[in-house]
Structure 1
Amino acid sequence: MSTTYRTSLGTSDLHSIRLMGRDLSGELMGEVPFGDLAFWMVAMRRPTPGESRLFNAVLVALADHGFTPTVIAARMTLASAPESIQGAMSAGLLGGGSRFLGVTEDAARFLAEGLAGAGADGPRADADYDALARELLAARTGDRRPIPGLGHPVHKDGDPRTPVIYRIAEEEKVLGPHLALLAAVGRVHPEILGRTLPINGAGVCGAALADLGFPPLIARGFALVARAAGVLAHIAEEMRDPIGLQLYQAVDRNAEYVDPTKE
């Protein structure tokens, strides 16, 4: 009995490579941007020009954000194992969790679940979205759960990426219910939380990816695809101008040993 293993992505033979049903070297290379190809391979359809612009804006928005813990982990791993670029890359991506990068998925899920709970008709006007946002926020605050997509440790007065994503989505007519609901969360949360927080870049990117048709579980994957470019850039910089050992020495020289037997 023969066994087959199905895939609709790529295949190759002696003389050719086919990807998404197209000849890789003859039809795709030099013709399809990498971002569009990533969209195509996951969604199993090519993005429209408007979708492509928004999707690539999301990837750019998530590529790098300075000396985050994930980047520091990558640099430190390279300092420890300079022969293992794959180890440094992996270290830089494994920390994409609930505080960094994972918010993209968390926000997409929060918004998708909220819209699903609103029923088949769903919200249509701003007032409807505001009412739904109030319900979701009240439930979250009642359970003392964080609000995905709100707040930023640095951009406390407003994340500069957020208005750009909304502008592009509006210009390309791809602003859908997830971005609309997140905007409503941004409008109504001060009256419920008693303070004003910015809509962060990871959250708005999660909403944009959801409006592009990607399920929440895939959103973090795209955040990691984007951040891989930033991690690689930091690794390249670490090779040119290393700081990994400096970071290690700074911590080591300022470490304070606490004798557990004397506490």
Structure 2
Amino acid sequence: MSNVGKKTGRERGEEWWQTDIIEMRPGVIRLRGYEIQDLIGRVSFPAMIWLMLRGELPGKEQAALLGIALGAAVDHGPQAPSIAIARMAATCGVGINSAMASAINVLGDVHGGAGEQALAFYGDIAAALDAGVTLADAVASRLDRIFAEEKSYVPGLGHRFHPVDPRAPRLIELTRDFAARGIISGRFADIAEAVEADVTRRKGKKIPLNIDGATAVLYGELGFPPPLTRGLFVLSRSVGILAHAWEQSQQSGRNKGPLPREWLWAYTGTPVRPFPQGDDDSK
């Protein structure tokens, strides 16, 4: 008989949602072993995120760098699909939670997933470095593969609105500052800048790092695995989503679509035509 069969109903129930994250019972809340009352007022929100995801409290500088990454990507205006959706949902009379959920649900591979893709890309290069390949060769080999076998763009580079994404240089500058103080290694910044330089050589023009490529550098330096970076982006962008949903809810617009009502879509279907007449029309 299996151990499962030998366990009591209570034991099975306790193990059903077993977790290392939180212990809770009447009068007690512990997160990763820490009493909640000991954390409140002593631990910043970025540090709390770190504790919940990683299981240990970060150093002060680690928490600061995580906060920098989270703060950089909070908003990009109503032309960003997630923000536009939050605002449209708010005009439909739904609650703020529904407006936020509607927006967050579109943060997928195309809108919101590039940071995860960029860090996975950097990680392939980092693995090659660990195997003894030089940075230049590791970058060149990975770019050869991405252009030949996968897709025509490199995650983390270029922006459809900004010739130079104003957030990226500042994030790299701060990464270099933290590396100079020994908080992080600076390895992922080296990788990102080498990728940017190699793509510039291949394309004959500079395609700068964007917010996704830059935040991927910070998350990589801090040791977060690529899938978590998408969740971190969702946390970050939720701030802007909340702000826009709230602002829109305070305005008078109702049932606002993606365009003003006098701007209609282009119809490309069959031209107007008569309904076919037949002997059975009266049936």
Among the aligned pairs, what percent are the same residue? 25
1:58 is matched with: 69
Q: In the superposition, relative to structure 1, how do residues 196 and 142 fare at CA in structure 2: closer, same or farther (>3 Å)?
A: same
Q: Structure 2: how far apart are the matches of 1:175 and 1:212?
A: 9
Moved more, 33-42 or 113-122: 113-122
**For 2:116, which of 101, 105, 124 is the aligned residue?**
105
2:162 is matched with: 155
Q: Structure 2: how far apart are the matches of 1:248 and 1:242?
A: 16
Any unmatched runs of 5+ in structure 1? 123-127
Shift of 1:244: 6.2
> Within 5 Å, which residues of 2 pair with 1:1-263?
1=7, 2-3=11-12, 4=15, 5-24=17-36, 26-67=37-78, 68-80=80-92, 82-121=93-132, 128-143=134-149, 145=151, 146-156=153-163, 158-173=164-179, 174-241=184-251, 245-248=255-258, 250-251=260-261, 253-260=263-270
Moved more, 91-100 or 205-214: 91-100
Shift of 1:259: 4.1
Aligned residues, how many? 255
Q: Structure 2: how far apart are the matches of 1:248 and 1:138?
A: 40
TM-score by length of 1: 0.88
8 Å contact kept, 1:175–1:208: no
Q: In the superposition, relative to structure 1, how do residues 79 and 175 fare at CA in structure 2: closer, same or farther (>3 Å)?
A: farther
Q: Structure 2: how far apart are the matches of 1:180 and 1:56?
A: 21
Shift of 1:256: 4.1
Any unmatched runs of 5+ in structure 2? 1-6, 274-283
1:98-145 Cα distance to aligned partner (Å, 9 max, x none): 3322111010111112222444345xxxxx323322222222222351
Shift of 1:19: 1.2
Shift of 1:69: 0.9
RMSD: 2.2
8 Å contact kept, 1:108–1:210: yes
Q: Structure 2: how far apart are the matches of 1:130 and 1:224?
A: 33
* Structure with bigger gyration radius: 2
TM-score by length of 2: 0.82
Moved more, 236-245 or 92-101: 236-245
1:66-103 Cα distance to aligned partner (Å, 9 max, x none): 111111111112222x2332221111111212332211
8 Å contact kept, 2:46–2:64: no
1:11-63 Cα distance to aligned partner (Å, 9 max, x none): 22221211121111x21111111111001111112222221121111000111
Q: Structure 2: how far apart are the matches of 1:118 and 1:112?
A: 10
8 Å contact kept, 2:88–2:256: no
Aligned residue identity for 2:154: I
